[in-house]
């Protein structure tokens, strides 16, 4: 048994689906179901007894302690986070509460459980904390990519809150001996991505005939990682990573944002051509840059390849084609996310009174 936090969100849900596609080891899935937590992501597990969903907050120490005592997981994987930079600029408090205070609550509950375990199970136990490359700050065009020893220089409330959570995880290893693993990933993309982020927003807006907003000059550079590659890397780190170590996970795909937008438009031109035969790229609209926008992120993923033998399976060309095709094939998911109907679905499926202590075999 493993316990996953944030397993109804974009990366967490993809991880749960991939895990159960490759293993019969059950998953307890704890998710608060904020705006981006969507149980429709996990609809294919509706009759699968290996998946137990619990609605609740990772920072609820009593809840987490009860789950640990009841299910005795061999590992906890922490995906739960507020993760959108723009939202953190306009409302940083949620990021402080979830990413810092919530992680502290989780660490306290896990530490107490781990310290009471018997020696064999205690030695095998792991807490894997999923973080971001944004904690490292911004790079110049000629700078070397982020390695695991790069100085932390977060520049947004989001990245600062994730940096704080990383430091807490590190401290609990060095102070208490808690067997932690930390991963810092680059920009993920793929199925079930909430359409506030760049790639799904471009797809959804393009199909709706809306402007495709691009910040500033569009030359901000990111490394792009297909979400299923990220999931495979996390499985590998959980299986073979050394406690206390940090592993950077990247796709070796540095690209300016404007190139990403043009690639999405070209794929839509091919896969869903407009009635007037025009290009979706005509909808691109440059908008005022956001405050403190980091110019470049780049991940050096050499360590995880050297030490654990992992490297991404997808190129950006193969991954982005799969992503666009998924959105074209799942218009109901997109419509429900945009309208908020997935929240009504959650109420129908699990009942409006579903509380933090209630478990449901999904």
For residues 133 and 297, the answer to whether their CB atoms sit within 8 Å is yes
Please give the DSSP secondary-structure letter assigned to residue 96.
I
Tokens 């005592």, residue located: 69
Residue among 241, 135, 126, 242 nearest 186 (CA): 135
Strand order in the sheet with 359-361: 246-249, 180-185, 126-132, 75-78, 2-5, 27-31, 51-55, 359-361
Buried/exposed code over 316-343 (b: 16+ C-beta within 10 A; e: otherwise): beebbbebbebbeeeeebbebbeeeebb
Q: For residues 83 and 59, is the Cβ–Cβ distance under 8 A?
A: no
Q: How far is CA 161 from the centre of its chain?
A: 15
Catalytic residue among 134, 254, 294, 359: 134
158 is known as an active-site residue? yes
Catalytic residue among 31, 82, 133, 314: 133
359-361 and 51-55 strand pairing: antiparallel
Catalytic residue flag (residue 172)? no
Share of the chain residues as helix, strand and coil, in percent rounded to the nearest 5: 50, 15, 35
Contact 179, 127 (CB under 8 A): yes
Q: How far apart are the first and last CA of the chain?
A: 15
Tell me if residue 134 is catalytic.
yes
| Residues with Cβ within 8 Å of residue 17, at least 6 apart in sequence | 41, 42, 44, 45
Other CB atoms within 10 A of residue 59 CB: 23
Q: Which of 40, 82, 158, 223 is catalytic?
A: 158
- Alpha-carbon distance of 171 to 176, in angstroms, equals 8
Cite the active site residues. 133-134, 158
């Amino acid at each position: 048994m493993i316990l996953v936090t944030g397993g109804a969100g974009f990366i967490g849900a993809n991880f749960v689906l991939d895990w159960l596609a490759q293993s019969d080891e059950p998953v307890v899935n704890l998710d608060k179901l904020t705006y981006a937590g969507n149980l429709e992501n996990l609809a294919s597990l509706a009759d699968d007894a290996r998946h137990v969903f619990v609605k609740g907050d990772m920072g609820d120490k009593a809840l987490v302690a009860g789950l640990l005592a009841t299910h005795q997981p061999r590992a906890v994987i922490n995906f739960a986070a507020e993760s959108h930079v723009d939202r953190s600029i306009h409302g940083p408090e949620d990021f402080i509460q979830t990413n810092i205070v919530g992680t502290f609550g989780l660490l306290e509950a896990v530490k107490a459980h781990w310290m009471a375990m018997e020696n064999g199970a205690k030695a095998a136990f792991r807490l894997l904390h999923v973080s971001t490359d944004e904690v490292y700050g911004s790079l110049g065009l000629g700078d070397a990519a982020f390695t695991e020893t790069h100085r932390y220089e977060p520049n947004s409330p989001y990245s600062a809150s994730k940096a704080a959570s990383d430091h807490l995880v590190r401290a609990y290893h060095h102070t208490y001996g808690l067997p932690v693993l930390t991963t810092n990933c680059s920009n993920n993309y793929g199925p079930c991505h909430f359409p506030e982020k760049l790639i799904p927003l471009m797809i959804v807006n393009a199909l709706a005939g809306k402007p495709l907003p691009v910040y500033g000059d569009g030359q901000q550079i990111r490394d792009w990682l297909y979400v299923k590659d990220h999931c495979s890397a996390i499985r590998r780190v959980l299986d073979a990573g050394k406690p206390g170590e940090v592993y950077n996970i990247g796709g070796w795909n540095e690209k300016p944002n404007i190139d990403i937008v043009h690639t999405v438009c070209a794929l839509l031109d091919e896969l869903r051509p407009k009635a007037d035969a025009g290009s979706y790229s005509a909808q691109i609209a440059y908008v005022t840059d956001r405050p403190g926008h980091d110019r470049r992120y780049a991940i050096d993923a050499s360590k995880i390849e050297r030490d654990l033998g992992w490297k991404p399976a997808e190129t950006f060309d193969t991954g982005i084609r799969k992503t666009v095709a998924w959105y074209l094939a799942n218009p109901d998911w997109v419509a429900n996310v945009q309208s908020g109907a997935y929240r009504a679905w959650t109420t129908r499926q699990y009942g409006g009174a579903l509380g933090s202590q209630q478990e449901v075999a999904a």
